[in-house]
Amino acid sequence: MSLWRDTVLGVATQPAVKQLVKDHALARPLRQRFVAGETIDDALAAARALNREGFRVSLDHLGEDVSEPAAADAAVNDYLALVQAIAHAHVQSGISIKLSQLGLSLDRAACQDRLERLLTAAQTVGVFVRIDMEGSAHTQETLDVLRAVWPRHHNVGVVLQAYLHRTGCDLEDVLALGATVRLCKGAYREPPTIAYQARDEVDAAYARLATRMLEAPNYAALATHDPALLAHARAEAARLGRPRDSFEFQMLYGVRRDLQQALVREGYRLRVYVPYGREWYPYLTRRLAERPGNLLFLVRSLWAEQRGNGARAA
Catalytic residues, by residue number, are: 132, 182
Query: Residue 280 carries which DSSP code?
Result: -
- How distant, in Å, are the alpha carbons of 28, 179, 185, 246 from that of 215? 42, 14, 19, 11
Closest chain position to ligand FDA (CB): 225
Characterize 138-166 residue by residue with b for buried, 16 or more Cβ atoms within 10 angstroms of its Cβ, and e for exposed: bbebbbebbeebbeebebbbbbbbbbbee
How big is the site for ligand FDA, counted in residues (CB under 6 A)? 23
Residue 226 touches ligand FDA, criterion: CB under 6 A: yes
Residue 232 touches ligand FDA, criterion: CB under 6 A: no
Rounded to 5 degrees, φ, ψ at 251 are -140, 165
- Between 72 and 202, name the residue whose CB sits nearer to ligand FDA: 202
C-alpha 255: how far from chain center: 12
- Between 119 and 184, name the residue whose CB sits nearer to ligand FDA: 184
Query: Residue 135 carries which DSSP code?
Result: -
Instruction: Considering only residues 127 through 186, tell me which ones interact with ligand FDA, judged by CB under 6 A.
Output: 132-133, 159, 161, 184-186
Least distance (Å) from ligand FDA to the CB of residue 313? 32
Q: Which residues pair with 101 in a beta bridge?
A: none
Least distance (Å) from ligand FDA to the CB of residue 229? 7
Residue 285 touches ligand FDA, criterion: CB under 6 A: no
Centre a 10 Å sphere on the Cβ of residue 235 and count the other Cβ atoms it contains.
11
The window from 38-46, 73-81, 164-172, 244-252 that contacts ligand FDA (CB under 6 A) reads: 244-252
Q: Which residues bind ligand FDA (CB under 6 A)?
A: 132-133, 159, 161, 184-188, 223-226, 250-252, 255-256, 273, 287, 290-291, 294
